[in-house]
Amino acid sequence: MELKNKINLYISNLNIIEKIILLNIVLFLLPFVLKTILYLFNVKDFSLLNWFTIDANFSEFILKPWSIITYGFLHGSFSHIFWNMLILYYFGNILLNIFGEKLITNLFISGIVAGGLTYLVSYNIFPVFRGINSAMIGASAGVMSVLVFLATYSPQYRIRILFFDVKIIYIALFLFFYDIIQIPLNNAGGHIAHIGGAAWGFYYCQKYNKGEDIMNSITSYFKKTKKNRSSTTNRSTKFDQKRIDSILDKISDSGYDSLTKNEKEYLFKVGKDTNK
């Protein structure tokens, strides 16, 4: 019982990015444990994982519509999950410090959906994929949506790579065009999903800068509630974008802990206001 309480306490102290990463790690390890159990009981030809991967064939996708989200929490190799979670941890926490948990959660999940839809549509309209039976897993589309959102919101933000700084916009553009040129070479479905996630992150930020959180609008529509736009449409007048960019640059150079108390409080106010 004490161990269970410690685990619950540990998880409760994690922020949303860390919880997403922990969930991905658990789901990455779970199939290996399940495979061992099935082996010990001599159970063959059984794959639970197939029910959570997204298939390019619409007839198969319809049988498991939940896969439009679940595929984004599964990974095929250590390097696959390592790089996705590393990028998500770094850039996701920057967005989290500015906007709070609600936006980062909406952005990541909707990025996964956008990548999955782009994959589905592409494999069913482009002749080159005709007759190909394909399935996909990975959080890359959600990760790309987070990266591109940040690059669109603050393109001058600098990332330290070895001995020099690079603007985040250049990193985002490099990865975007890298995915485009890699489509004919290998893992076409994965690269197409990356592009879908990146495009969604750009679109999401464009709408957000105009005072509209897309996911909040969708949620409000289905719940048939009226959205109070006064607190969001005037966001650009409440907060100083130059000051926000300056704080982001400081985080890039010296880390979040280097911020003064006032700077941290300012970021908190921005995040709190934009999540109302």
Domain range list for the chain: 2-274
Give DSSP secondary structure letters for 11-54.
Answer: HHTS-HHHHHHHHHHHHHHHHHHHHHHHHHTT--S--SGGGTSE
Rounded to whole angstroms, the Cα distance separating 275 from 219 reads 14
Q: Which two tokens stand for residue 230?
A: 């006064």
**Residue 84 near residue 75 (C-beta atoms within 8 A):** yes
Q: Which two tokens stand for residue 209?
A: 């800068």
- The arithmetic mean of pLDDT across residues 200-227, rounded, is 77
pTM for this one?
Answer: 0.81
More confident residue, 264 or 120: 120
198 pLDDT tier (thresholds 50, 70, 90) = very high
**Residue 53 near residue 67 (C-beta atoms within 8 A):** yes
Of the candidates 165, 160, 149, 152, the residue with the CA atom closest to the CA atom of residue 255: 160
Of the candidates 144, 147, 142, 93, the residue with the CA atom closest to the CA atom of residue 271: 93
More confident residue, 45 or 174: 174
CATH match for 2-274 among 3.40.630.10, 2.60.40.10, 1.20.1540.10, 3.40.50.970: 1.20.1540.10
Predicted local confidence at residue 236, as pLDDT: 44
DSSP H helical ranges for the chain:
2-12, 16-40, 58-63, 67-70, 78-99, 101-125, 140-153, 168-182, 188-209, 214-223, 230-233, 235-238, 241-254, 261-274
The answer to whether residue 59 scores a pLDDT higher than 60 is: yes
Mean pLDDT of the chain: 86
Q: Which two tokens stand for residue 35?
A: 């495979």
Q: What interhelical angle do 188-209 and 101-125 show, nearest 10? A: 130
- The arithmetic mean of pLDDT across residues 204-226, rounded, is 75
The answer to whether residue 219 scores a pLDDT higher than 70 is: no
